[in-house]
Amino acid sequence: MTIVLTKEGFRSLRLAWALLGLAVLAAAALAWGSHLYLQKEQRDGLATQRELREAQTRLDAAMRERDDLKDSAEIFQDLVKRGILNHENRLDFVERLERLKIRHRLLGLEYEIAPQRLLPLPGGRVFNSVDVLGSRVKLKVLALHEGDALAFLEELANPPQGFNPFNRCALRKIDTGTSDALVPRAEADCTLEWISLKDKRIGRAN
């Protein structure tokens, strides 16, 4: 069977065709809107994840900084207790060297104290309240026995106050070829750092 629409039939269906067109346009608009909304949600989700990662990174950095500050404060307090927060007194240091020389029965002691300087710290680290200063001390020790030289160096490196770490130390026996009791049989060449802290606030106050 063949159905033929007349002009009157088409005119009578105009409203239906218009509604169908509007429905198709509405469906297309809805689909496009849903696509745009989904893309926006995906972008917002990625942005949120990125912000969360950045926030977590900042939090981790803040926690590490807190721990570093805590460790630094503990180290600083320990150094203050050891009397390192004092002005460098070279006369006291030289007198201590002479006392230790006599106590450990050294046969010879030569030393050279370099000018005080600002010590570079690992990682370029600085402290807001203090400068870390050091004077390099070179020593040449002559002793009758190796034990006397070692005892002298150990006591020198661990003073009642202050901090004197050794950078380098070489101890060797001396072959004298004689039985003379006053001839050195051990020699030590060492370098240490005489470290002190300077309160920056004092300099600013002056």
List the chain pLDDT tens, one digit each, 206 residues.
445 555 565 566 666 666 777 777 777 777 787 777 777 777 777 777 777 677 677 666 656 655 555 655 666 666 666 666 667 788 989 999 999 999 999 999 999 999 998 887 777 777 677 788 889 999 999 998 889 999 999 999 888 777 788 888 898 988 776 666 678 889 999 999 888 877 776 554 44
Q: Which positions ≥6 away from 172 have C-beta within 8 Å?
A: 186, 187, 188
The answer on 121 and 74 residing in a single domain is no
The answer on 192 and 123 residing in a single domain is yes
The answer on 105 and 19 residing in a single domain is no
Q: Is residue 179 part of a domain?
A: yes
CA atoms within 13 A on the CB side of 128: 3
Question: Which pLDDT score is estimated for 206?
Answer: 43
The answer on 193 and 102 residing in a single domain is yes
Question: Which pLDDT score is estimated for 74?
Answer: 65
**How many domains is the chain partitioned into structurally?**
2
Question: Which pLDDT score is estimated for 16?
Answer: 66
CATH number for 156: 3.30.70
Helices (H), the chain: 7-12, 14-81, 90-103, 146-157, 200-205
Q: Is residue 171 part of a domain?
A: yes
Q: Which long-range contacts link 174-178 to residues 24+ away (Cβ below 8 Å)?
A: none
pTM (two decimals)? 0.55
Q: How far apart are CA 80 and CA 203, in angstroms?
A: 18
